[in-house]
């Protein structure tokens, strides 16, 4: 596991956001992590579909990828007001630069990249129901290119968690253990307690 420089700063975290390619485990781990922390859970892909009353496949086929990316960016932006929440992104969300910068610079957001090699990710996706109609999975010849293009964005996350060979529960536990602590508040509290004693 690897913290980037920004990821090792102690600060008050209101939101954990999970990023990674399709099959990385964002939805599975996000749900488990939210339960562990007692926080709310949002899956950006689900929220997009509910708000637009259309499946992702329908949005791709009616408006193309560009329309989907705009709806996706708006949805993620709107979720960033929620506190005590775990938010799982779609696999391509960090390709939108505004989303990327927002998630990396918002002081209350902790961005986690769930990492695994492409062959393992594809095996996981194939085992899931609905694999046959997923727009990005269907464009086989472009997958390697998408993966390579996204990797540098993912690797800027505050925390990188390799997920091969471990379970979703273990992955969620590792993230919970690596969350920054809010030392500032702790110090103030200690200071206040001492003042009361004097
Ligand atoms: N260590 C692990 N962490 C997370 N998921 C794992 C792990 N090992 C195996 N898996 C499996 O991989 C699959 C990940 O699927 P999931 O839908 O959570 O991915 P996702 O990142 O949300 O993908 P998408 O971008 O398609 O929404 C699940 O079936 C999960 O059980
Ligand atoms: O990798 C991608 O580009 C995608 C991943 C899914 O989570 C969905 O957001 C959608 O199918 C696009
Ligand atoms: Mg998902």
- Per-residue confidence band for 32, with pLDDT thresholds at 50, 70 and 90: very high
Binding residues for Mg(2+): 27
Give the distance (Å) from ligand 1 centre to CA of residue 108: 25
Question: Which value does ipTM take for this structure?
Answer: 0.96
d(CA 163, ligand 3 centre) in Å: 15
Contact (CB, 8 A) for 33 and 84 = no
For 133-169, how does the pLDDT look when each residue is reduced to its tens digit (9 = 90+)?
777 777 778 889 999 999 999 999 999 999 999 999 9
Q: Which residues are annotated as a binding site for substrate?
A: 45, 69, 91, 150
Query: 183 pLDDT band (50/70/90 cuts)?
Result: low
- Gyration radius of the chain's alpha carbons: 18
- The per-residue pLDDT for 3 is 79
Neighbours of 25 (CB within 10 A): 22
Q: What are phi and psi of 57, to 5 degrees?
A: -60, -40
User: Could you give the number of structural domains in the chain?
Assistant: 1
Structure confidence at residue 130 (pLDDT): 75
- Terminal-to-terminal C-alpha distance of the chain: 44
Ligand nearest to the CA of 146: 2
* Parent domain of 78: 2-197
What pLDDT is stored for residue 140 in this prediction?
A: 77
pLDDT at 192 over 70: no
The CATH number of whichever domain residue 114 belongs to comes to 3.40.50.300
CB 157 within 8 Å of CB 113 = yes
């Amino acid at each position: 596991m690897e913290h980037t420089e920004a990821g090792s700063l102690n600060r008050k975290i209101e939101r954990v956001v999970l990023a990674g390619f399709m099959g990385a485990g964002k939805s599975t781990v996000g749900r488990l992590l939210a339960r562990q922390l007692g926080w709310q859970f949002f899956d950006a892909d689900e929220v997009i579909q509910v708000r637009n009353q259309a499946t992702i496949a329908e949005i791709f086929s009616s408006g193309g990828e560009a329309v989907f990316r705009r709806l996706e960016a708006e949805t993620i932006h709107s979720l960033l007001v929620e506190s005590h929440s775990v938010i799982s992104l779609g696999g391509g969300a960090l390709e939108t630069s505004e989303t990327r910068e927002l998630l990396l610079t918002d002081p209350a957001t902790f961005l986690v990249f769930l990492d695994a090699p492409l062959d393992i990710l594809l095996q996981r996706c194939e085992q899931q129901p609905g694999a046959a109609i997923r727009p990005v999975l269907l464009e086989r010849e472009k997958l390697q290119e998408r993966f390579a293009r996204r990797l540098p964005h993912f690797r800027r996350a505050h925390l990188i968690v390799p997920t091969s060979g471990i379970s979703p529960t273990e992955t969620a536990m590792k993230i919970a253990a690596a969350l920054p602590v809010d030392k500032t508040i702790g110090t103030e509290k200690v200071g206040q307690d001492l003042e009361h004693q004097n």
